[in-house]
Structure 1
């Protein structure tokens, strides 16, 4: 959670480009999905909109405030200790909410596909709203202690600047336990849960497909259209692409975290240190996961693609017409 001591020159290029791309695509996803014209249920739409908002907040707090401002605007208002501590809390909260909303969506689709009896009660607009609210409240409250874990790095003219983990935090067993719990909850536990739900979903699909084939009397070489399987196809593709993208982009970060904790290797000496390169790659891929969902919607959802092209053009034509009038 502390600021990086080593800053690779690539960071100065990568993160501004990521912000320039991530903010508009997430805003576009929020607008298009909120219109409700993508052929998705209200329940799924609620989750996707909340995930897009969470991803947008990650880009703002992590990429813009936590990295770009720190790299480009040293000794500015944002570099004072109280603001640094606040940014850490906002960054941690937005990251936790974004990750756990992905877990909530994965579980919702797992229930919809595998537990038909529970589907009608759980996979509803009301339940989605409750789950999203509870997740956001819990993880925002969970991250508040980070504000008190940091102190000023130095003081100039009675003004506290930058932030560093306090001695109390570094030496306290309670704080150490809190730091471990924080990393267990994000990303270790979500990583494991998403993998588990996907494995169980795949297993259920394979079993259900075999059973339905037998009931319909299909021979292995025959090609029969099954309306039930066809109806599930969109949901399954959306689930697997979103959760698969999350797992793929977070794997490097998770492996790095586990290695560092097991070997107690917390410091890097230079840009050529292999562990530093792994850390940089993990951080870049992890943040990139906050920009990929919109691309996934565009690839997997035809109606989203159509509305994503049509809506901005319609808006532009309306603005031009208003100016002409």
Structure 2
């Protein structure tokens, strides 16, 4: 009875994986690779590479492309063509590279959120902490840290031959209690789950709060007639990237935390294995959405993309307009400081004038009223 039930569950899981990981995941991977390639081409052009934010998005698109290649080779091809032999040959080499690229993608998303947090919430520090050189150093540091962190995963699995058949098994190093305890439980929970997720959530909440206070202050002072559409579009773009990351990665983080505590017994449950398949699809969607979000929010990105894709000429006054935008971004800190000082001055003047007017009114009323006998 148990053998028949297990066989039925395996057939259901195989059919489910063929549809979700075989067809849907492969299609999303191919579209995402094309979109990320175009994003990298556009952001590396002379029209777009002057922005500090675009440096992080370029690195994030490159890391996402490697993530998509890893999912396509290890999940898409295996589920579509049932290529178990090909999967066994590449798994031990692709798995640590795939994990490294996933970690780079996670921390680059945190870097994007933190960079926007400095620009919006700490404008006085943005000139010091935001520069192309520093952004490149941050990207390089994230790559080095991820590579060093993922070195033990190169020795977690090994290939064994049984009855002329190659199988993937956990190695003696990977099955060691100390490895499972440190790498799969504590370090994963701290460096892959808790730290980047905390940075992303805190920065996202503070950015939204600060933008709300800025808009509220503008409405009170009557200065919201003319807004910077380019800056607002970039804010919405980066917030949407962070929001999509949280929406698609939190279920994956939850599964990995449960797996780190429950171990291989969790994979005996059919629902848990189907849940993992859906999480893989969500991760692929997250790695493929940068081009769509950029094209939806950023007008300049759309214009440069059309220039590369369809050989359309750039609109008139494109260079002068973008030079003006670049000049505004370079003077953002100074203008932000001046606007804050002006807002404080106007508000204090408004309060002082109202208090003086109210005192004058009270004096006039007190002098005009007859004295009580």
Distance 2:75 2:158 in 1: 19
Against the structure 1 CA distance between its residues 263 and 152, is the aligned structure 2 distance closer, same or farther, given a 3 Å change threshold?
closer
- For these two proteins, the number of residue pairs brought into alignment is 294
- Find the aligned partners of 2:127 and 2:281 in 1 and give their Cα distance: 39
Against the structure 1 CA distance between its residues 162 and 28, is the aligned structure 2 distance closer, same or farther, given a 3 Å change threshold? Answer: farther
Matching of residue 224 in structure 1 with residue 224 in structure 2: yes
Taking the aligned partners of 1:283 and 1:144, their CA distance within structure 2 comes to 23
2:57 is the alignment partner of 1:48: yes
CA distance in 2 between partners of 1:230 and 1:100 (Å): 28
Decide which structure has greater helix share: 2
Determine the structure 1 residue equivalent to 2:292.
Answer: 295
Larger Rg: 2
Q: Structure 1 residue aligned with 2:134, among 120, 127, 136?
A: 127
In the TM superposition, residue 36 of structure 1 has moved relative to its aligned partner by: 4.1
CA RMSD after TM alignment? 2.6
Q: SS where residue 289 of structure 1 aligns?
A: helix
**Aligned residue in 1 for 2:23:** 13
Mapped pair 1:58 → 2:67: yes
Match of 1:196 among 202, 224, 228: 202
Q: Offset at 1:268?
A: 3.1
Supply the distance in 1 between the matched residues of 2:65 and 2:92 (Cα, whole angstroms): 20
Contact 1:252 1:281 in 2 (8 A): no
Counterpart CA distance in 1 for 2:51 and 2:162 is 52
Question: For 1:9, what is the secondary structure of its paired residue?
Answer: helix
How far is the alpha carbon of 1:32 from its aligned partner? 1.1
SS at structure 2 position matched to 1:152: strand
Q: Say which SS state the counterpart of residue 169 (structure 1) adopts.
A: coil
Deviations 1:117-155 (Å, cap 9, x if unpaired)? 210011111111100011011101211110111122435
Q: Contact conserved, 1:50 with 1:132, CA < 8 A, in 2? A: yes
Q: Name which of structure 1's ranges 99-108 and 185-194 shifts more when overlaid on structure 2.
A: 185-194
1:84 and 1:276 map into 2 onto residues whose CA distance is: 18
Describe the SS at the equivalent of 2:18.
coil
Determine which of 27, 44, 47 is the counterpart of 1:34.
44
Tell me how far 1:162 sits from its aligned partner: 4.1
| Range with greater deviation from structure 2 (123-132 or 249-258) | 249-258
For structure 2, list consecutive stretches of 5 or more residues without a partner in the other structure. 1-9, 313-373
Alignment correspondent of 1:176: 181
How far, CA to CA, are the matches of 2:267 and 2:192 in structure 1? Answer: 21
Measured in 2, the distance between the counterparts of 1:89 and 1:50 equals 19
Q: 1:258 to 1:26 in 2, by over 3 A?
A: same
Shift of 1:184: 3.8
Q: What is the match of residue 109 of structure 2?
A: 102
Normalized against structure 1, the TM-score is what? 0.81
Pick closer, same or farther for the CA change 1:56–1:239 going to 2, 3 Å: same
Residue of structure 1 in register with 2:156 after alignment: 149
Asked if the contact 2:218/2:224 (under 8 Å) is kept, the reply is: no
Aligned-residue offset at 1:305:
1.6
CA separation in 2, counterparts of 1:108 and 1:179? Answer: 29
Secondary structure in 2 matching 1:151: strand
Asked if structure 2 preserves the Cα contact closer than 8 Å seen for 1:85 and 1:146, the reply is: no
Find the counterpart in structure 1 of residue 364 from structure 2: none
Is 1:267 paired with 2:267?
yes
Unaligned 5+ segments in structure 1 are 316-325
Q: Which residue of 2 aligns with 1:306?
A: 303
Secondary structure in structure 2 of the residue aligned to 1:50? helix
Identify if the C-alpha distance between structure 1 residues 132 and 104 changes in structure 2 by more than 3 Å, giving closer, same or farther.
same
Partner of 1:282: 279
- Which whole-Å CA distance do the structure 2 matches of 1:172 and 1:143 have between them? 18
Shift of 1:99: 1.3
Partner Cα distance (2:38, 2:119) in 1: 27
Partners of 1:36 and 1:42 within 8 A in 2: no
Instruction: Give the deviation of 1:259 after TM superposition.
Output: 4.6
Does structure 2 conserve the Cα–Cα contact (< 8 Å) formed by 1:51 and 1:98? yes
- Does structure 1 conserve the Cα–Cα contact (< 8 Å) formed by 2:40 and 2:58? yes
8 Å contact kept, 1:102–1:243: yes
